Chain A
Amino acid sequence: MEGDTREAIQDKSNVASSRPKNGVPNGSDRRLTDEEFERYSRQMIVPGMGKHGQLRLINSSVLIIGAGGLGCPAAQYIAGAGIGTIGIVDGDVVEPSNLHRQVAHATSRIGMAKVDSLITHLRSLNPLPTYIAHPFHLTAQNGADILSRYDLILDCTDNPATRYLISDLCVLLQKPLVSAASVQTSGQLIVLNCPPSPQGVVDRPCAPCYRCCFRKPPPPSANLSCGEAGIMGPVVGMMGVAQAGEAIKILASALHLPQDARGASGASGASDAERHLTHPHLLIYSYDLASAIGPYTFRALRMGGRKRSCFACGEGSTLTLEGIRSGNPDYVQFCGGLAPPPHAGLAPEERVTAAAYDAARRKQELPPHVLLDIREREHFSLGSIEGAVNVPFGKLLMKAAEIQRDGGEAEDVLPREARGSGKDAPIYVVCRRGIDSQETVAKLKELGLDHGGTRKIVDIVGGMKAWKDEVDPRFPFL
């Protein structure tokens, strides 16, 4: 068990254990201090909030899983609003490439554990909450122990396996979950499992879990991560802020508690349907770099409720905390595992290492040839091997398909500047990590560009990543 919670929990009664403490009577007759009155006045005078809502926030605990692009802005507003206990889980350290979007960290804290960096920032914003650092990644082994201590969970992580794990734990521990994700220029947000209902209950409308909405993960080949695909800071930031917004709403109005525990001044009178809880909306944000705000920038999509057949929360589900702890289900495998990347079955003479290609170039052993770089244009623009020409992989495949379908010159898949290199000039193909380049070599041969074997078409093994590792350590590999 991970007992590495660095911060002593100062006040035991502050930690989620006794149930209705956030509901009503418990703590709601406590006086606000002068400092609290002053600090929280502008949100307390908002209709619907009041002192009652503020006390609920103060008596609540929130766990933020991930101290990155979503977790930083979410934590800022959660702390600012005065949620009483704030836990943060992350095993990474601050890196320079985080800072354009993870704006609660700081240049002076590069190399520091993200949880410590974030808590440093939050303390200077609001010293009143209790901050709890969990400076490691969430796992199937430590997850239940950590989540069980909090009232509400924010999923600010960056990979499908952890997302399914968090949702399953929230179902079993009956915790509301605010889930968001973002990549490149898109963001998504949804409130799940709120209010929580016992696993397996299907005889009345219940809120869905993550699996109810997203039954299966995408195949790994279709899965983009921020590190690989890029991310715009304001896009992920908007989603993180919206997560905090939903969390504050839920806790201040006690929407996550059963109706009877919510008390008179809860969202009284409103039916479940009006509160959109059992059929939540998925908010989609699309940010178009080439246009202004338009009609499709924000969309709210109506999702179904709990599914009878859901693996985690549905009828007769066999999912248990003990099972999860002992590796059942296997989240990594469910999400496509760490299977070796597919390869196109190239012969050894169709492949050359980055180091060998460089050495042959230096010794001028290579005839005039085409060096075809198939990374995205943005990657290419940041740096490339001297003499390389660029056609992005997707474009090349599209052009190849067009030629195969409609006819045309196979040579036309190559960029114009590569066509003059001589009919049998060898083609060397390089990509980011050496996977798409293998497929490209196979595709170029299929198009007949190898001229029946007289022209060499060669894959540079490991792509520009290998070029950086083996040849040019200063190359800006992104």
Chain B
Amino acid sequence: MSAAKNNDTIDITVDFSGGLEMLFDNKRRYSVSLPAVDGSGKPVTMAFLIDHLCTHLMKDPRVDLFVLDKHIRPGILVLINDADWELEGEEAYELQPRDNILFVSTLHGG
């Protein structure tokens, strides 16, 4: 693949589970189109996506149930293509076309 140009986009899917879908209009899956590069010309990352979700997709104003102090709040697992994002570089991970990103809150009931 050649270097991303300014008007390229990346299409990914974003899933919510474990109750987080409540914050996103009760929809479990979104198709999301992102610019391939951010304002400074760098490839878009997970950090860019999280900001995008908060400003564009989140209908519920309780942002702190998703993001605390600019990071995903404790108790939410983030999976990149079904693997823990800690294996992939977390917020610095550069998104690839057709990536599947899953946000799931950890459960404690029984």
Q: Which residues of A pack against B, CB within 8 Å?
A: 66, 68-71, 156-160, 163, 180-184, 186-188, 213-219, 221-226, 229, 231, 236, 239, 282, 284, 286, 288, 296, 299-304, 394, 397-398, 400-401
Which stretch, B3-11, B37-45, B46-54, B98-106, touches the partner chain A? B98-106
B79 at interface, CB cutoff 8 A? yes
Do B110 and A70 touch across chains, with their CB atoms under 8 A apart?
A: yes
Do B28 and A224 touch across chains, with their CB atoms under 8 A apart?
A: no
State whether A181 and B110 are in contact (beta carbons under 8 Å apart), knowing that A397-B60, A397-B62, A398-B59 are contacts in the complex: yes
Do A398 and B107 touch across chains, with their CB atoms under 8 A apart?
A: no
Taking the closest CB of chain B, its distance from the CB of A70, in whole angstroms, is 4
Residues of chain B with a CB closer than 8 A to A304's CB: 84, 86-87
B32 at interface, CB cutoff 8 A? no
Residues of chain A with a CB closer than 8 A to B84's CB: 213, 301-304
CA distance A299 to B13 in the complex (A): 15
* Chain B positions 56-109 with a Cβ under 8 Å from a chain A Cβ: 59-62, 65, 68, 73-77, 79, 82-84, 86-87, 102, 104-109
- A-side interface mostly: mixed
Do A286 and B28 touch across chains, with their CB atoms under 8 A apart?
A: yes
CA distance A156 to B107 in the complex (A): 12
CA distance A188 to B109 in the complex (A): 10
Do B73 and A218 touch across chains, with their CB atoms under 8 A apart?
A: yes
Do A222 and B109 touch across chains, with their CB atoms under 8 A apart?
A: no
CA distance A226 to B110 in the complex (A): 7
Specify which of A157, A213, A301, A303 is in contact with B110 (CB 8 Å cutoff). A157
Do A163 and B17 touch across chains, with their CB atoms under 8 A apart?
A: no
Taking the closest CB of chain A, its distance from the CB of B12, in whole angstroms, is 15
Residues of chain B with a CB closer than 8 A to A160's CB: 108
Specify which of A216, A219, A223 is in contact with B108 (CB 8 Å cutoff). A223
Residues of chain B with a CB closer than 8 A to A71's CB: 110
Do A301 and B86 touch across chains, with their CB atoms under 8 A apart?
A: no
Taking the closest CB of chain A, its distance from the CB of B39, in whole angstroms, is 23
Do A299 and B107 touch across chains, with their CB atoms under 8 A apart?
A: no
Taking the closest CB of chain A, its distance from the CB of B106, in whole angstroms, is 5
Taking the closest CB of chain A, its distance from the CB of B37, in whole angstroms, is 28
Residues of chain B with a CB closer than 8 A to A163's CB: 108
Residues of chain B with a CB closer than 8 A to A303's CB: 84
State whether A219 and B68 are in contact (beta carbons under 8 Å apart), knowing that A296-B15, A301-B84, A394-B22 are contacts in the complex: yes
CA distance A222 to B107 in the complex (A): 10
Closest to B86 in A: A304
Residues of chain A with a CB closer than 8 A to B105's CB: 218, 222
What are 30 A-B residue pairs whose CB atoms fall within 8 Å in the complex?
A66-B110, A69-B110, A158-B108, A158-B110, A160-B108, A181-B109, A186-B18, A186-B107, A188-B18, A213-B77, A215-B74, A216-B75, A219-B73, A219-B75, A221-B65, A222-B73, A222-B75, A222-B105, A223-B75, A225-B108, A229-B109, A296-B28, A296-B29, A301-B82, A301-B104, A302-B82, A397-B61, A398-B60, A400-B61, A401-B60
Closest to A302 in B: B83
Do B79 and A182 touch across chains, with their CB atoms under 8 A apart?
A: no
Taking the closest CB of chain A, its distance from the CB of B56, in whole angstroms, is 13
Residues of chain B with a CB closer than 8 A to A288's CB: 28
Residues of chain A with a CB closer than 8 A to B77's CB: 213-214, 282, 301
State whether A188 and B83 are in contact (beta carbons under 8 Å apart), knowing that A183-B19, A301-B102, A394-B22 are contacts in the complex: no
CA distance A398 to B17 in the complex (A): 20
Specify which of B60, B74, B87 is in contact with A217 (CB 8 Å cutoff). B74
Closest to A307 in B: B86
Closest to B108 in A: A160
Which 7 pairs between the two chains have the least Cβ-Cβ distance?
A218-B75, A216-B74, A183-B109, A401-B61, A181-B107, A226-B109, A70-B110
Residues of chain B with a CB closer than 8 A to A229's CB: 19, 109
CA distance A71 to B69 in the complex (A): 37
Do B17 and A284 touch across chains, with their CB atoms under 8 A apart?
A: yes
CA distance A391 to B86 in the complex (A): 40
Taking the closest CB of chain A, its distance from the CB of B89, in whole angstroms, is 12
CA distance A301 to B22 in the complex (A): 21
Taking the closest CB of chain B, its distance from the CB of A76, in whole angstroms, is 15
Closest to A400 in B: B61
